[in-house]
Amino acid sequence: MKARHRRRLQRTGNSAALEGDTTGPTWVDPSRVRRGNSLEVLIDGAEALPQVQEAILGARRSVHIAGWHCSPDFRLVHGPDSMTLRELLATTAQRVPVRVLMWGGPPLPVFKPTRADARASAAELMRGSAVECALDTREFTMHCHHEKLVVVDDEIAFVGGIDLTALAGDRLDSRAHPRLHTLGWHDAATVLRGPVVADVAAHFNARWGAVTGTVLPAPEPPAPAGDLDLELLRTVPEKVYDFLPQGEFSILAGYLAALRSARSHIYLENQFLWSPEVTDVLVDKLLRPPSEAFRLVLVLPRRPNNGSDTTRGQLARLIAADAGRGHLLATTMVGASRGGPGVYVHAKIGIVDDRWLTIGSANLNEHSLFNDTEVNILALDEALARDTRLRLWEEHTGRPQGDLSGAVADVVDTVWRPICDEQDEVSARGGEPIHRIEHLQALSRRVDLLQGPLRGLLVDG
């Protein structure tokens, strides 16, 4: 599988994505770094989605949305009197152009959203309104258009992992994750202002033009809005769009270079951990840790909505490489009630050495790194990376940031591990949860360990 990926990237002139500088966290392409931006990390839907709605309602020129799926009846804020997505977009389209670009669904109805689902959603969004909606079916077999973007007036952009749909779980969950009867949903997004928004807008415009034939005006870079340097990263498979015939794999390049360069710690929240390219780097870090204080902390779902064997099989490799030395901590989130459906980890966040931060739509599997369309944002900023990590750790551990601000290894060993141990004991005896995290175990049977690589080879190889 890895050999095939290498040959594929060599054929398309993208083989550098597999190499990467290991001297320290760095940019993928310094020439594409935009200066003078602001970035706010929005953790969970209850923090992110009301801001998305507010930005859409305040639009003065245009609203552009690209997503895996959009449900017309989805509500971005709580309350029976709140607007549905259809009502929100229809109201806004009375003043400014509103364009929605969704994945068209799989060729065969083997999983949701089906093509019939996508067509019905598009038709409902447009019904009786000026909303324009297009379905993109230019995907590799078994793959999709997975990015989640909202661009308002080419001045504000939301980039992250939150879909505007109720499919599978509650996207409007809060950081307390109090859900008892619906699947909780842990996720993250960013809101961007400044020149980098032009790159998000240009990406949407290019895809919209490829699908509809309508050429939108090139976006003008907005005025500086802060002091952050940012780079937009993408996965665009080759031979899908004429505007990028050789494809782009900068998300893969960014992750591999940053993970190889890690010296202090790697913190990953992700829906999947399938990629052998990524896992190989993590295995090497555990076999040859940069120091005794090095820590790799993972937050993954207990039961991914597909590919569970693949993730858990790769986790078994990491556990074996760590060999009980304590450099690895693999965790999952616990629901508010033992009998409830739990909390699903859907966030796609990477933090390395509190210097390198990426948030977006890309999972750590071959779908997102090679075959789906994805968009992430990359920042090299110590304050932003550390603040984001502490906010996430506050949510997961239930401890104030003051208890979490020490050396990473000390916090992992004296806060995270005891919490996970206590929750493991409670879960083992069937008690009500007392913490939000517990250890995530790998599969143990040899046949199960093989299912993951075999499935990955069939789907992604």
Give me the residue label for tokens 């240009």. 202
- Cα–Cα distances in angstroms (integers) from residue 94 to residues 86, 97, 128, 214, in the given order: 13, 8, 11, 20
Do 187 and 257 fall within a single domain? no
d(CA 186, CA 307): 19
pLDDT of residue 461: 45
Do 217 and 256 fall within a single domain? no
Task: Give the mean pLDDT of the chain.
Answer: 93
Report yes or no on 21 lying in a domain: no
Mean per-residue pLDDT for 79-96?
96
- Exposed, middle or buried by CB within 10 Å (0-12, 13-18, 19+), for 369? buried
- Exposed, middle or buried by CB within 10 Å (0-12, 13-18, 19+), for 337? middle
pLDDT of residue 142: 77
Do 319 and 201 fall within a single domain? no
β-pairing, 132-136 with 98-103? Answer: parallel
Report yes or no on 425 lying in a domain: yes
Of 225, 253, 287, at which residue does a domain stop? 225
Report yes or no on 163 lying in a domain: yes
Do 238 and 323 fall within a single domain? yes
pLDDT of residue 54: 98
Do 89 and 171 fall within a single domain? yes
The continuous run of DSSP H or E covering 37 comes out as strand 34-43
Mean per-residue pLDDT for 272-293?
96
Is the omega angle on the peptide bond into residue 50 within 30 degrees of 0, that is, cis? no
Give me the residue label for tokens 């994505």. 17
Report yes or no on 53 lying in a domain: yes
d(CA 160, CA 148): 6
Tokens of 223: 């005025």
Give pLDDT tens digits for 361-395.
Answer: 999 999 999 999 999 999 999 999 999 999 999 99
Q: Which residues of 144-163 are buried (b: 16+ CB within 10 A; e: fewer)?
A: bbbbbbbbbbbbbbbbbbbb
Report yes or no on 31 lying in a domain: no
Percent of the chain with pLDDT over 70: 94
Mean per-residue pLDDT for 277-293?
97
Of 225, 255, 290, at which residue does a domain stop? 225
Do 208 and 243 fall within a single domain? no
The 8-class DSSP code of residue 224 comes to P
Q: How many CB atoms lie within 10 A of CB 95?
A: 13
Q: Residue 73 pLDDT > 50, yes or no?
A: yes
Give me the residue label for tokens 């509190």. 354
Q: Residue 460 pLDDT > 70, yes or no?
A: no
Do 330 and 379 fall within a single domain? yes
Mean per-residue pLDDT for 33-48?
98
| CATH code of the domain containing 420 | 3.30.870.10
Torsion of CA 397, 402, 404, 406, to 10 degrees: -170
Torsion of CA 233, 459, 11, 199, to 10 degrees: -20
pLDDT of residue 455: 56
Do 193 and 268 fall within a single domain? no
d(CA 360, CA 159): 6
pLDDT of residue 140: 78
CA 345 to centroid of chain Cα atoms: 10
Report yes or no on 306 lying in a domain: yes
The continuous run of DSSP H or E covering 229 comes out as strand 228-236
Rg (CA), the chain: 21
Do 177 and 194 fall within a single domain? yes
- Domain extent, residue 55, equals 38-225
Torsion of CA 20, 23, 25, 29, to 10 degrees: -40
| Residue 108 backbone zone (phi > 0: left; psi -120 to 50: alpha; other: beta) | beta
pLDDT of residue 458: 54
Q: Structurally, how many domains does the chain consist of?
A: 2
- Helix-strand-coil percent breakdown of the chain, rounded to 5? 35, 20, 40
Do 349 and 256 fall within a single domain? yes
Q: When comparing pLDDT for 21 and 133, which is higher? A: 133
Do 345 and 306 fall within a single domain? yes
Give pLDDT tens digits for 118-131.
Answer: 999 999 999 999 99
Phi, psi of 35, deg, nearest 5? -105, 155
Of 197, 225, 253, at which residue does a domain stop? 225
Tokens of 325: 């030395």
Do 145 and 168 fall within a single domain? yes
Give pLDDT tens digits for 289-325.
Answer: 999 999 999 999 988 876 555 677 889 999 999 999 9
Report yes or no on 18 lying in a domain: no
